[in-house]
Structure 1
Amino acid sequence: MKSLGFVLLLPIALTGCSSGGSGWHGTNITGSVPSLAFDMKRADTGANVDGEDFRGDVTALYFGYTYCPDICPMTLSNMGRALQRMGDAAKNVRVLFVTVDPRRDTPAEVEKYVKAFGPQFVGLTGSEDQLARVAKRYRVAYSVSPDPDPAKYEVTHSSALFIFDRHGEARLLENSLSTDKPDIAGVADDLTRLVREKD
C-alpha cells in the first residue's frame, strides 16, 4: 500500500509547527489542527460515538483499513509497543482506528483487527459520507487504487497519527511509527507526558 506523505496534506495548517525546542518527540500541532470531533460508530458495539465520548483520555486518531498489507499493521503494532512501554499510564490512552474502506471493512472485521494490537484500540466505522466529513476535518487524503479484481483494490492513505490531550485538543502529529526506525520510546514519552498533564 502506498502511503501519502503527510507534509503534502497539511501544507498550511502545519506551517510553523515543529518539535524543536518544545521537548516533544512528535510534531507540535497545538492550535493548528481542529479538536477531536466526529460522528462514527464503534465497531464493537455499533453505538454512535463522537469526540466527546473520549474526553478524559489521551486519544490517538489513525486512518487505515484492515486489508492494508503493510503500513497499517506496522504503525499500529509500533503504537502497541509504545503503549506497553508506558506501563500503567497506558490505561489512560485510547487509539481510534477509522477505516477508510467502509465498503469492505465490516464492523466485525474492524473489531477483530484492532483488538489484535491491544485493549486500548477502538475501531470506528461509518458511511462513506461520515468518513469523508472526518477526513476533511483533519485534511486527511485517501483514494482507492483501481484493480482488475474489485475485491483486491488497495487504498492509499496518510500514515500519520493525530494525538489529542485529555480535553480533546490536538497536540501532536506522529509520523515515525510507519518507518523502519520507529521512535517507540519517544512516542511513549509524549503520551505519558500528556497523560500526566495537569488541568
Structure 2
Amino acid sequence: MKPLFSRRVLWALLILIALVGVSACQRQPQPEWRLTDVSGHLPDLDFRLTDDNGKAVTGADFKGKVTLMYFGYTHCPDVCPLTLTQLHVVLDRLGPPADKVRILFVSVDPKRDTPEIMHAYVNAFDKRAVGLVGSDADVEALAKRYRSAFTREPDRGNGAYDVSHSSAIYFFDAEGKARLLATPSASQDDMVHDLHLLTSLGAQP
C-alpha cells in the first residue's frame, strides 16, 4: 500500500505544479504606465457628435484605434494649439504605430466652431486629428461624463470671447476603454512610452 500511496502523492504534486504553471502563463503582466492610470475609474468612449467632414459619428466608429480625446476650441489663444502641436510631435515620434491612433478634438464652442472650421483647424496640426462638434447639450453631457468642465467668459464685443476649459488629455485603448490621463505639460517621452504600450495591447476582451 505504501508504494501506491507514494505514487498518488507524486501524481497529485505533478498535477498541482502543472496547474500553477498554466495559471502563471495566463496572467498578463500589468503595463508599467508613466501617465496617470484611470482604468476602471472613467467610462468607456461613448458619444454622438458630428465630425469635421459633417458626418454623424459615435464612439463606436473609432473602435480598433487608440484615441486621445481633448476638449478645446479653435479660438483658443494658447493651450489648445500648444497641446495639438505636442500631440503631433508625439505621434511623429511614435512612428508606424501612430497609424493606430486618432486625436479627437471636441469643441467646447459650438457657436463658432462649425465642421468646416474644425476641419481646417485640426488638419493644420495633424492629419490623424478629428474635429468633433455638437449641440451645447451634447458637448456638456460628454464633458460631464469625463469629469471635464468649461465656461464661456463674457463677450468682449463683436462676438469675441474666451472659453475656460479643462486641459486633460484622455487616452482610450482600441476597445474604447479609458486607460490613461495626461496634462498638456506631460513629457513627450512619457506619452510616447505609454502609446507604444497601448498600441501593442491590441483589442481587449
Letter of the 2:32 partner, please give it: G
Q: Deviations over 1:145-194 (max 9, x none)?
A: 1133151100000111000000000000011x2x3xx4111101111110
- Other-structure match for 1:61: 69
Q: Deviations over 1:49-101 (max 9, x none)?
A: 11100000000110000000000001110011000001100000001000000
* TM-score normalised by length of structure 2: 0.82
- Other-structure match for 1:27: 36
- Other-structure match for 1:37: 46
- Other-structure match for 1:166: 174
Q: Residues 169 and 181 of structure 2 are in contact (CA less than 8 Å); yes or no, is this contact kept in structure 1? A: yes
Q: What secondary structure does 1:79 align onto?
A: helix
Alpha-carbon offset, residue 137 of structure 1: 0.9
Q: How high is the sequence identity, in percent, across the aligned residues? A: 43
- Aligned equivalents of 2:131, 2:81: Cα separation in 1: 14
- Other-structure match for 2:200: 196
* Larger RCO: 1 or 2 (CA < 8 Å, sep 6+): 1
Q: Where has structure 1 moved over 2 Å in runs of 4 or more?
A: none
The equivalent position to 1:129 in structure 2, one of 124, 127, 137, is: 137
Q: What secondary structure does 2:43 align onto?
A: coil
Q: Residues 162 and 170 of structure 1 are in contact (CA less than 8 Å); yes or no, is this contact kept in structure 2? A: yes
Gaps of 5+ in 1: 1-20
Q: What secondary structure does 1:116 align onto?
A: helix
Alpha-carbon offset, residue 22 of structure 1: 6.0
- Aligned equivalents of 2:156, 2:149: Cα separation in 1: 23
More helix by share: 2
- Other-structure match for 2:187: 183
- Other-structure match for 1:18: none
Larger radius of gyration: 2
Q: Cα RMSD (Å) of the superposition?
A: 1.4
The equivalent position to 1:145 in structure 2, one of 147, 153, 175, is: 153
Gaps of 5+ in 2: 1-29
- Other-structure match for 1:16: none
